[in-house]
Structure 1
Amino acid sequence: MDYFPIFMKLQGEACLLVGGGEVAVRKARLLREAGARLTVIAPELAPELAAWVKAGEVEHIAAPFHPDMLGCPRLVIAATQLREVNRQVADCAKAAGIPVNVVDDPELSGFITPAIIDRSPMVIAVSTGGKVPVLARLMRARLESLIPAGYGALARFAGDWRDRVKARFTQVDERRAFWEAVLQGPLAEAVMAGSDARVASDMDALLASDARWHEGCVYLVGAGPGNPDLLTFRALRLMQQADVVLYDKLVAPELLELVRRDAERIYVGKARADHALPQDDINSLMVRLAKEGRRVLRLKGGDPFTFGRGGEEIDSLAEEGIPFEVVPGITSASGAAAYAGIPLTHRDYAQSVVFVTGHMKDGSFNLDWPALTREQQTVVVYMGLSSIAGLCEGFILHGKAATTPAAIVEWATTARQRTLTGTLADLPALAQEHGIQSPALIIVGEVVQLADRLAWYRRKPVGG
């Protein structure tokens, strides 16, 4: 993050704007909407600025900028067409410790002004760090169409009731849960629609209710194969509601950025043969946290019920009477195959697909080879990287040709994805040569030969 996002209160504060053209007009509008006392330094003014000066709403210094004119404003914006003047303004402001923005010049700026979606008192800012203002404006336009104007009324409503809600719910977690229920329910819809005849009485009834707004529970959420864009809407919503998140090595770091920022994060490991917490301890931890009244997010790579041990985890929750919800995710096999250009089934090459784990519960290596070596079938091996040599040898020993196409996909669907394609004979050596690491999936079958033709995502093709 190149810039720390911040909202500055400017009501009644002195602000300085250097420049009098149309660009300066746009910045002056924003400063005035924020309630700033504005002074403009410029030899000449655009008509709109001149009208504000004439009405006594803006002070004007009709001269080129000079360092003696700086004074002690709360912030400074330079918006002239001359970079040397803008640089002089920026240097003077920085020397005085005053925040300064030079329009369309991040190099000279101490802060930047974002694209704004105004639903006052709710304000949303979008920034590209000053690098691509057009992209920020395009994103703003998209958000404008998605966020109803009624959210402003909803924010005012919540602000009016804030003190009473705080007095009713002294515990932060319970207060947060109450607001989440209210702001996503029919009362909020009524406020946004302007149908507020009974809103006050309904809110009074909710505050007087004996309902438990915050109850311990567990969300078992499939995070998908890694790319945040592949999350379900339900998964994202629960990630924002949880009080504590348990995550492991298979969860891409980008996904953790979508979890509520003040949620506690607990790493539980799950790398093969190197668990930060054994599975039984993870189960016990979820139960304990839920019994403490916390909403627990168990974030799992791929799908919780596809080699994710989700069944074991909810079994322990059910035994303890802990409320839980399971949110499916795109399983890693589907994500890896799609992004590697390898269809799991294909009319000409494979009429079935089998998912199998590369190691068993007790660490042994014992697979149903006759079932895995059938013709016209694709086999996807989860957690098989550490035993890839034995796997490929097993396929060959049990009847598969050494030339059978095979692939390994590392960090599928993310920017770090790498896809190696080869055969059962040479895939182990390729994986070692290129330093492939977990998480990685192995795909065996004739469909692998389509990867070079169908892959659309492979940025760094290696092997062959």
Structure 2
Amino acid sequence: MRHFPAFLDLRGRHVLVLGAGEVAERKSAPLAAAGALIRRAGRFDPALLDGVVLAVGADAPEEDLLALSEAAQARGLPVNVVDRPALCSFIMPAIVDRDPVTVAIATGGAAPVLARMVRQKIEAVLPPALGALAALAGRMNAAVRRALPDLGARRRFLERMMTGAPADLALSGRIAEAEAAFARALDQAETQPVGFVHLVAAGPGDADLLTLRALRLLGEADVIVHDRQVSTAVLDMARRDAERIRITDGPAGSAALLMRLARDGRRVVRLTAGHEHDDDAAALTRAGIPHATVPGVAGSA
């Protein structure tokens, strides 16, 4: 990853757009939509950078674009020159806007057309009212934190809300009903999480051979317990903030660890490079720990 993605708060802040043509107009529009105060100029003067937080170069003479890039970077200001990656310190992505949900797609300046194609695919998948669901979650955030101080319980509750009846109602535009359903569910929510262990087989270790269920569980787990043979590519499919623990002391240590994590209310994925989970499953059964086995792809042993 060459460019680190970040979202800037531009409300009420000045942004320089250098250029006077159609491309400059097109680049100005999303910046203005984000609340930026657009400073437009056809030719470059270093004084134009006074008080701005970033700069964009579009329809301007070559010498002005070069001067803009050099001067902005000398001041530590982010600068983008359209279709000139070598002159850029940041990339303007293709954007899917479901305010307050924003999805940005970039190719590092290598293939802007591809970024737009990916954006179109995402646009077709994300409901137009997705922002209403995010806004609902935002309004309920303080109440959820008060009712569910435990992070695990809070995360699980919110995951259910984002896929349950409140979500369906919000996406249908029935906001008042969605808020009522959300509040009712919160009143009945479990304040302490219940631990569970999924014994997941990763097959030979290729990330693209994981089952859909395995991918879903990796995205939901609080902790990933894995063998050293499990590849980095597979581990990268897990949720970014999930704890990762590599087993180093054999089956007995694995079972004891799984029991402790489950009793702490954690959602655990025990990930092996092959298909064998018999020892862990037997130990969890004897201890009365709720668990389930998720086989790998058939024939991938």
Opposite residue 296 of structure 1, the aligned amino acid is: V
Deviations 1:220-249, CA, capped at 9 Å, x for gaps:
122343333332222222111111111223
**Matched pairs, number:** 301
- Does residue 136 in structure 1 map to residue 115 in structure 2? yes
Correspondences of 1:262-341 after superposition (within 5 Å): 262-268=241-247, 276-302=248-274, 308-331=275-298, 334-335=299-300
Query: What do you get for the CA RMSD once the two structures are aligned?
Result: 1.7
Deviations 1:388-414, CA, capped at 9 Å, x for gaps:
xxxxxxxxxxxxxxxxxxxxxxxxxxx
| TM-score, with length taken from structure 2 | 0.94
- Does residue 249 in structure 1 map to residue 196 in structure 2? no
Look up the match of 2:99.
120
CA contact 2:136–2:179 (8 Å) conserved in 1: no
Look up the match of 1:30.
30
Cα distance in structure 2, aligned partners of 1:236 and 1:83: 48
Opposite residue 280 of structure 1, the aligned amino acid is: A
Instruction: Give the C-alpha shift of residue 209 in structure 1.
Output: 1.3
| TM-score, with length taken from structure 1 | 0.62
Deviations 1:275-318, CA, capped at 9 Å, x for gaps:
x221111111111111111111112225xxxxx32122111111
Deviations 1:181-211, CA, capped at 9 Å, x for gaps:
1111122111111234532332222221153
* Compared CA separation, residues 147 and 224, structure 1 to 2 (3 A): farther
1:20 aligns to what SS in structure 2?
coil
Look up the match of 2:135.
156
CA contact 2:72–2:79 (8 Å) conserved in 1: yes
The higher relative CO (CA closer than 8 Å, separation ≥ 6) is in 2
Cα distance in structure 1, aligned partners of 2:203 and 2:127: 30
Opposite residue 259 of structure 2, the aligned amino acid is: V
* Compared CA separation, residues 84 and 252, structure 1 to 2 (3 A): farther
Correspondences of 1:391-410 after superposition (within 5 Å): none
Cα distance in structure 1, aligned partners of 2:142 and 2:246: 36
Q: Please, which of 72, 86, 89 is the counterpart of residue 107 of structure 1?
A: 86
> Structure 1 stretches of 5 or more lacking a match?
43-63, 269-275, 303-307, 336-381, 383-464
Instruction: Give the C-alpha shift of residue 329 in structure 1.
Output: 1.8
CA contact 1:178–1:213 (8 Å) conserved in 2: no
2:73 aligns to what SS in structure 1?
helix
Runs of 4+ in 1 over 4 A off after TM superposition: none
Deviations 1:25-49, CA, capped at 9 Å, x for gaps:
111011011010111111xxxxxxx
Cα distance in structure 1, aligned partners of 2:262 and 2:252: 16
Cα distance in structure 1, aligned partners of 2:55 and 2:23: 14
CA contact 2:197–2:291 (8 Å) conserved in 1: yes
CA contact 1:246–1:299 (8 Å) conserved in 2: yes
> Structure 2 stretches of 5 or more lacking a match?
none
Structure with greater helix share of residues: 2
Aligned residues: percent identity? Answer: 40
Look up the match of 1:227.
206
Indicate the structure (1 or 2) with the bigger Cα radius of gyration: 1
* Compared CA separation, residues 23 and 210, structure 1 to 2 (3 A): closer
2:15 aligns to what SS in structure 1?
strand
CA contact 1:225–1:330 (8 Å) conserved in 2: no
